């Protein structure tokens, strides 16, 4: 009994001990006249809004006020008694750390509660979910008409794609879902090593996924087998293998050489056989639309922009031996004179104004480019070209590249060849994204300590081995958040393709809202589209955080 009495007396002696009210008021209210005015104004606004909400929703406001008071009392008691539990500590650190934050907690809680109440009434209580009652005469006055989502599901998901091809879209979806499930299951630590052969097969299928999905969604034409195409593909792969072996990235073996030589002919033969069967007949890709088109464009840009951005970043930071001046300047002068002799006279004769006469002397630009290459890059053509590409692409808006891609695509094809809009859009968007990706990767390369480069050189690694095994894994690990940010940006910014006439997930909204049956139902469509964009962005962001945690990014 005496022990309990002594403990109670000890708590009474320590309760509030060391707490200085003058310091508390100075930190939270009277530190400056601006702070006093700000906290007073916040208190007035909070009090007024609380009273207004109490008049409109008395029960909900009473519950929020009671919870706020209880949390505030818990924090005050913990501060005065110098004994916080987990709940009061979290409340103090996140919601009640100061007078201003306590008032903001109450104000924002009431605002969110009012918004949630309004949305509940509009989106659930007074809403209509019947897809057959979306016409203006059947719509509720103060509620949403969610039936438009189900009624326009085909346009939202696949756009104007013919229904007979929908099974191929579902096949693509289930292929990806199955791959993700197998990858997740085989990646568990307990069975990871036991199913190593299966994981190798899954990794190979992931690498082949772009080709497989292309077969599903675009189809394969029925064309005769070309021995020339098979031979050219095999030759390109052998040259690539020779370069990698020369740089000591891969080891030489006759089995690997034989496998490299036959992989393209075999793949081409399989491609030809698929086209011959007619099961996956070609689809007019201009009919792609809705979420399908958005995912295709975003996925293609993400998959292509990362390796291209890495190459551009390495090219910009390359330190290869440049073109000597005794070669650069005579060559530049010779090409300039050749252009002035062969091109300028004819252009001057057809010039209609002063501007066209000045542009007739365009070969002089070659001397300027030679000067920049010599002065800024010491003749390093790789660094100069990479830098010029990055800065040029980053200096123009994405819309410009999309329009240029569509308008300039025929110049790179045979006369009379029609090209579907999605392909030049993907190319232009990929070039745009790769320029920004290059700068992101370059930031990671510059963050690697110089000692890592010196250690790789000391081990006898050549340039490609150094980048492949030492530098690039660390650089990419550092910039994972920035890379995923670029991926999320590519996913959301794909909605800009609607400006060039493609009806993606966002652009198809205009088609749906112009239908007499769904006329004016834009809010419901925008909310659904925003929710889908949020889910996709959140999934990429969540995977990024898990990957950072697994790799220990940011840990010290």
Per-10-residue mean pLDDT, the chain, length 556: 49 56 72 84 92 91 93 86 84 86 92 93 91 87 90 92 93 92 82 81 87 92 84 86 77 80 85 88 91 93 94 88 85 90 87 85 88 86 91 91 83 75 91 94 91 87 84 90 92 88 88 87 92 93 86 63
268 and 414 share one domain: no
Of 208, 213, 207, which is closest to residue 172 (Cα–Cα)?
A: 213
Question: Between vectors from CA 76 to CA 71 and to CA 80, what angle results, nearest 5°?
Answer: 150
Q: Which two tokens stand for residue 200?
A: 């190798």
> What gap in Å lies between CA 544 and CA 481, rounded to an integer?
7
Q: Which two tokens stand for residue 474?
A: 């660390």
Domain boundary among 350, 379, 408: 379
413 and 309 share one domain: yes
In a domain, 469, yes or no: yes
- The b-or-e profile of 272-282 (16+ CB within 10 A means b, else e) is beebeeeebee
In a domain, 9, yes or no: no
**Secondary structure in 3-state letters for 359-419:** HCCCCHHHHHHHHHHHHHHCCCHHHHHHHHHHHHHHCCCHHHHHHHHHHHHHHHCCCCCCC
432 and 535 share one domain: yes
57 and 82 share one domain: yes
305 and 443 share one domain: yes
In a domain, 5, yes or no: no
Q: Tell me, rounded to whole angstroms, the distance of Cα 16 from its chain centroid.
A: 52
> What gap in Å lies between CA 516 and CA 504, rounded to an integer?
21
38 and 141 share one domain: no
133 and 173 share one domain: no
> What gap in Å lies between CA 146 and CA 247, rounded to an integer?
60
332 and 231 share one domain: no
Of 222, 183, 189, which is closest to residue 205 (Cα–Cα)?
A: 183
> What gap in Å lies between CA 532 and CA 534, rounded to an integer?
5
User: Cβ of 519: how many Cβ atoms within 10 Å?
Assistant: 13
> What gap in Å lies between CA 137 and CA 132, rounded to an integer?
12
Environment class of 428 (CB within 10 Å of its CB; exposed 0-12, middle 13-18, buried 19+): buried
Note whether 131 and 151 are within 8 A (CB). Answer: yes
Note whether 360 and 348 are within 8 A (CB). Answer: yes
Note whether 352 and 363 are within 8 A (CB). Answer: no
In a domain, 6, yes or no: no
> What gap in Å lies between CA 453 and CA 174, rounded to an integer?
44
Q: Which two tokens stand for residue 393?
A: 């692409």
Residue 479 sits in a domain whose CATH number is 1.10.3720.10
Instruction: Please give the backbone phi and psi of residue 417, each rounded to the nearest 5 degrees, phi first.
Output: -85, 125
The whole domain housing 253 covers 165-275
Instruction: Please give the backbone phi and psi of residue 397, each rounded to the nearest 5 degrees, phi first.
Output: -75, 160
Exposure of 186 in the CB half-sphere (CA atoms within 13 A): 17
In a domain, 3, yes or no: no
388 and 472 share one domain: yes
Alpha helices in 187-324 (DSSP H): 196-207, 209-217, 227-246, 254-277, 290-316
Q: pLDDT tens for residues 463-516?
A: 888 888 889 999 999 999 999 999 999 999 888 888 888 889 998 988 898 888
Domain boundary among 360, 379, 398: 379
| Domain count along the chain | 5
18 and 94 share one domain: yes
Taken as a whole, the chain contains a residue count of 556
419 and 367 share one domain: no
Q: Is 222 left (phi over 0), alpha (psi -120 to 50) or beta?
A: beta
Instruction: Please give the backbone phi and psi of residue 6, each rounded to the nearest 5 degrees, phi first.
Output: -65, -40
Domain boundary among 379, 400, 428: 379
295 and 307 share one domain: yes
> What gap in Å lies between CA 517 and CA 215, rounded to an integer?
36
> What gap in Å lies between CA 372 and CA 356, rounded to an integer?
25
In a domain, 545, yes or no: yes
Residue 501 contacts by C-beta under 8 Å, 6 or more apart in sequence?
421
> What gap in Å lies between CA 474 and CA 19, rounded to an integer?
49
In a domain, 408, yes or no: yes
Note whether 128 and 150 are within 8 A (CB). Answer: no
Query: What Cα–Cα distance (Å) separates residue 142 from each residue in 243, 448, 527?
Result: 68, 59, 17
In a domain, 158, yes or no: no
């Amino acid at each position: 009994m005496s022990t309990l009495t002594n403990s109670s007396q000890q708590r009474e002696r320590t309760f509030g001990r060391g707490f200085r009210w003058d310091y508390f008021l100075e930190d939270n209210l009277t530190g400056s006249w601006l702070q006093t005015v700000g906290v007073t104004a916040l208190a007035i606004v909070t009090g007024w809004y609380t009273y207004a909400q109490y008049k409109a929703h008395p029960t909900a406001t009473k519950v929020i006020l009671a919870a706020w008071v209880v949390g505030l009392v818990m924090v005050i008691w913990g501060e005065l008694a110098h004994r916080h539990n987990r709940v009061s500590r979290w409340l103090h650190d996140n919601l009640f750390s100061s007078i201003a934050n306590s008032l903001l907690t109450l104000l924002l809680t009431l605002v969110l509660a009012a918004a949630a109440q309004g949305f509940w009434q509009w989106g659930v209580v007074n809403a209509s979910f019947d897809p057959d009652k979306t016409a203006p005469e059947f719509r509720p006055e103060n509620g949403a008409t969610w039936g438009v989502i189900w009624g326009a599901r085909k346009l939202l998901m696949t756009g104007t794609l013919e229904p007979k091809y929908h099974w191929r879209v579902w096949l693509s979806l289930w292929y990806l879902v199955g791959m993700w499930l197998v990858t997740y299951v085989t990646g568990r630590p307990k069975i990871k090593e036991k199913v190593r052969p299966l994981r190798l097969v899954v990794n190979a299928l992931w690498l082949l996924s772009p080709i497989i999905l292309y077969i599903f969604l675009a189809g394969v034409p029925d064309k005769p087998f070309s021995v020339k195409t098979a031979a050219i593909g095999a030759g390109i792969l052998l040259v690539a293998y020779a370069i990698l072996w020369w740089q000591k990235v891969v080891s030489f073996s006759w089995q690997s050489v034989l496998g490299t030589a036959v992989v393209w002919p075999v793949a081409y033969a399989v491609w030809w056989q698929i086209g011959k069967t007619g099961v996956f007949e070609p689809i007019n890709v201009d009919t792609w639309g809705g979420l399908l088109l958005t995912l295709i464009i975003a996925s293609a840009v993400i998959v292509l922009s990362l390796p291209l951005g890495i190459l551009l970043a390495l090219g910009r930071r390359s330190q290869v031996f440049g073109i000597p001046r005794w070669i650069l300047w005579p060559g530049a002068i010779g090409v300039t004179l050749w252009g002035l002799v062969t091109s300028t006279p004819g252009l001057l004769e057809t010039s209609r104004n002063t501007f066209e006469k000045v542009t007739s002397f365009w070969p002089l630009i070659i001397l300027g480019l030679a000067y920049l290459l010599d002065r800024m890059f010491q003749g390093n053509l790789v660094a100069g070209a990479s830098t010029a590409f990055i800065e040029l692409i980053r200096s123009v808006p994405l819309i410009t590249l999309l329009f240029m891609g569509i308008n300039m695509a025929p110049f790179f094809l045979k006369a009379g060849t029609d090209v579907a809009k999605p392909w030049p859009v993907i190319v232009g968007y990929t070039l745009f994204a790769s320029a920004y990706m290059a700068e992101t990767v370059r930031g990671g390369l510059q963050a690697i300590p110089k000692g890592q480069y010196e250690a790789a050189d000391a081990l006898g690694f050549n340039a490609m081995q150094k980048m492949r095994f030492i530098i690039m894994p660390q650089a990419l690990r550092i910039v994972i958040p920035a890379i995923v940010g670029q991926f999320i940006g590519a996913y959301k910014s794909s909605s800009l393709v609607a400006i060039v006439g493609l009806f993606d997930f966002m652009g198809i909204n205009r088609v749906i809202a112009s239908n007499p049956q769904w006329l004016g139902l834009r809010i419901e469509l925008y909310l659904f589209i925003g929710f889908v964009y949020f889910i996709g962005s959140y999934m990429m962001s969540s995977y990024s955080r898990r990957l950072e945690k697994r790799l220990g990014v940011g840990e010290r």
